[in-house]
């Protein structure tokens, strides 16, 4: 059994996390929670992109009214992201949060942590214990006998033990760092040391779109392929819709979940006689409007293309002045180069209804 199949299942709104449930995709709003209309607009775009759980910041009491309106109208379960102020966590739970994300190390005393635990228990919502390398408990951070991954795991384990003593086990764990090796090592240790708790995986402060995508896909892809991780947020300094798009691309590449088409395209070479890069980009752009888990190929060689992309559901293979539409690796018909992309999408619509 994969590690994710052995974890205890918790519910974030109507989304199951852990216990063998599909790895869910999360993101976080970049809007002000005090502006519910703008935040709900962004949540709508996230939902359309395939986001399944959304997190919003609740930085102060002024955001609570907006937070409640967001929870009431959101198409997605809304998790309240809380730092420092335990009263905000309690109020968010009571105003409709589907879950809380807190770092007990910066909430303050255990009496304050206990008050948050009790509020979550009363509202029957989970708590994500979110530990970050940059905000470790001071006592743990000061220890020189531990590596950073060990510090992160030690911090998580201590908080879990306290939550369990309070009779609260509706927990998701995360322990993030900006380093890919530290992230991978930490989650491997968490999966071994606390195997019953579902894990929220991702690289924190990963960077802008290009660098952040690489770092997240290396770290999270390594973990997911090993069966570790129940839900994920691929943090990027970008429009949060990009996080969702990358997450689904990663799940698709791993063969775990597919929401949208997969594009298979060759890198071109000296034999290519068309603008294959432009053609592939045009197909990719038009595939964004297609909601079907199909594989679409764009190949530069009419001789070898269909064979090289035989696993694709449908595709085109280009020659000089014309190309082939092929299905399941078998040629269907010859089409003039100028009409190849249009004919491809007509065939996609005819065969797959999208």
- Count the domains in the chain: 2
Q: Which residues of the chain have pLDDT under 50?
A: none
Q: Are 229 and 289 members of one domain?
A: no
Q: Are 249 and 269 members of one domain?
A: no
Q: Which residues contact 207 (CB under 8 A, 6 or more apart)?
A: 215, 236, 237
CATH of the domain at 52: 3.20.20.20
DSSP assigned state of 168? -
Q: What is the pLDDT of residue 303?
A: 66
Q: CA neighbours within 13 Å on the CB side: how many for 215? A: 24
CATH of the domain at 294: 3.30.413.10
Name the domain boundary from 194, 222, 253.
253
Q: Are 163 and 200 members of one domain?
A: yes
Paired strand residues for 79: 55, 99
Containing structural domain, residue 32: 3-253
Q: Are 249 and 273 members of one domain?
A: no
Q: Are 143 and 164 members of one domain?
A: yes
Q: In what order do the strands lie in the sheet with 330-336?
A: 262-265, 295-299, 314-318, 322-327, 330-336
Q: Are 243 and 270 members of one domain?
A: no
Name the domain boundary from 231, 253, 275.
253
> pTM of this prediction?
0.89
The structure tokens 């609740």 sit at 58
Q: What is the pLDDT of residue 8?
A: 93
Q: Are 201 and 310 members of one domain?
A: no
Q: What is the pLDDT of residue 1?
A: 61
Q: Are 22 and 150 members of one domain?
A: yes
CB 173 within 8 A of CB 194: yes
Q: What is the pLDDT of residue 293?
A: 87
Name the domain boundary from 229, 253, 277.
253
Coil, strand or helix at 44: helix
């Amino acid at each position: 059994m994969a590690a994710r199949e052995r974890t205890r299942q918790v519910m974030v709104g109507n989304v199951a996390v852990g216990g063998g449930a599909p790895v869910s995709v999360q993101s976080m709003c970049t809007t002000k929670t005090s502006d519910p209309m703008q935040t709900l607009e962004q949540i709508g775009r996230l939902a359309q992109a395939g986001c399944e759980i959304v997190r919003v910041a609740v930085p102060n009491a002024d955001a609570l009214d907006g937070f409640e309106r967001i929870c009431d109208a959101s198409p997605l379960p809304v998790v309240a992201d809380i730092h420092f102020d335990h009263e905000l966590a309690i109020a968010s739970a009571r105003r409709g949060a589907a879950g809380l994300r807190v770092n007990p190390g910066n909430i303050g005393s255990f009496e304050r942590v206990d008050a948050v635990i009790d509020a979550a228990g009363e509202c029957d919502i989970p708590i994500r214990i979110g530990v970050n390398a940059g905000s470790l408990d001071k006592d743990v951070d000061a220890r020189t006998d531990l590596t950073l991954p060990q510090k992160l795991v030690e911090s998580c384990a201590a908080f879990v033990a306290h939550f369990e003593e309070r009779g609260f086990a509706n927990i998701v764990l995360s322990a993030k760092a900006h380093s890919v090796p530290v992230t991978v090592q930490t989650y491997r240790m968490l999966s071994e040391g606390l195997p019953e708790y579902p894990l929220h995986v991702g690289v924190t402060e990963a960077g802008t779109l290009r660098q952040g995508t690489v770092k997240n896909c290396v770290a999270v892809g390594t973990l997911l392929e090993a069966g570790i991780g129940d839900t994920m947020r691929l943090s990027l300094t970008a429009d949060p819709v990009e996080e969702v798009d990358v997450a689904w691309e990663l799940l698709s590449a791993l063969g775990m979940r597919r929401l949208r088409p997969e594009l298979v395209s060759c890198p071109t070479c000296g034999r290519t006689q068309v603008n294959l890069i432009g053609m592939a980009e045009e197909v990719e752009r038009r595939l964004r409007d297609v909601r079907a888990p199909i594989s679409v190929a764009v190949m530069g060689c009419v001789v070898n293309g269909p064979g090289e992309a035989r696993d694709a559901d449908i595709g085109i293979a280009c020659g000089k002045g014309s190309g082939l539409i092929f299905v399941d690796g078998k040629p269907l018909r010859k089409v003039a180069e100028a009409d190849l992309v249009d004919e491809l999408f007509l065939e996609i619509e005819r065969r797959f209804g999208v």
